[in-house]
Amino acid sequence: AGDTEVVRSLAEIVGKWPAFEPSGGRDRGFDLAERFVELSRPRTSISRMIQKAVAKIAVHGCGPLHIVTTADRQTLFPYPTVPDRRAAVMQSLGQSPVYFRGHAPGPCRENVGQVHVYLDVSGSMDGYLETIFSCLKPIQNRLYPLIHVFSTEVIDYPIGDILQGRYTSTSGTDINCVLEHIVKNKIKKAAIVTDGYVGKPSDLLIEQLPERLNLVKLLTPDFHEDDLKDLPGSVQRLPLEEENAMPWPMLSWALFTRMIPAPWSEWKWPFPWTGCLLQAESPQTKNC
């Protein structure tokens, strides 16, 4: 037990040192720098999981803020635009309608959700950001208009910027900046998206968290849960591992090539322990 405490203490001390090279570890990182990521196609399964997690801690339409959107609204025109039964009846009775009913696009206020999303943008999350960013688009109206990206600092970004792949990071990680932001802004409903490599949270900050805080932790497949176990709230795993799965056409072709008969003198057959594809022997592949 003593050795474990020593290792943990050393990890906390070293984790506060400035980074010499970019890494996905728990260090203080570099200075803040704006970054861009090319978004992938939204994954329905991930969007639904985030939406389901968000729905558990806040109901859509209960937020105190509003956004202005465009929607078709019923209005009056001095000329007919669509079939108007009332105007037709008036004309059949010898009356001339002054206005005609129709629909036109116009501004519309819509309630937004109260859930604040804290998105880990440290170096260890680089392989997941393009997928997570794009999966926020289908559910953006259920979220707080600002996404809180964090590394060793919390930076507020309009969700529109996030959907364009813009964010700021130091490449380091520190969960305490998230807790400080929650305490300072008295946030009651939040979702943290991370791989869990965020360092041990401060006991003092945990005690200062809002009493009725509803928190959900959404973790990537290769998550590290030890750092987050002292935080309140449920844990859910995002199905991001499917992103790297081999597509069925490629998988079928790989299996097919293993079944092609050929003379042993011309082909080198792959075995599970060789890691070689089916191919003719050559100076480059003979010793594969």
Per-residue pLDDT of the chain (288 residues; tens, 9 = 90+): 556 566 556 655 655 554 444 444 444 445 566 777 777 676 777 777 887 787 777 654 445 555 566 777 777 777 777 677 777 777 778 887 777 777 778 777 655 567 899 999 988 888 888 888 888 888 787 788 899 999 889 999 998 888 888 888 887 889 999 999 999 999 988 999 998 888 889 999 999 999 888 899 999 887 888 888 899 988 888 886 554 444 444 444 444 444 445 454 444 445 444 444 444 444 444 444
What pLDDT, on the 0 to 100 scale, is given for residue 147?
Answer: 93
Give this prediction's pTM.
0.58
Q: Which residues contact 281 (CB under 8 A, 6 or more apart)?
A: 266, 267, 268
CATH number, span 2-62+112-243: 3.40.50
Q: CATH 3.40.50 occupies which residues in the chain?
A: 2-62+112-243
**C-alpha distance from residue 29 to each of 199, 202, 225, 285 (Å):** 13, 19, 21, 42
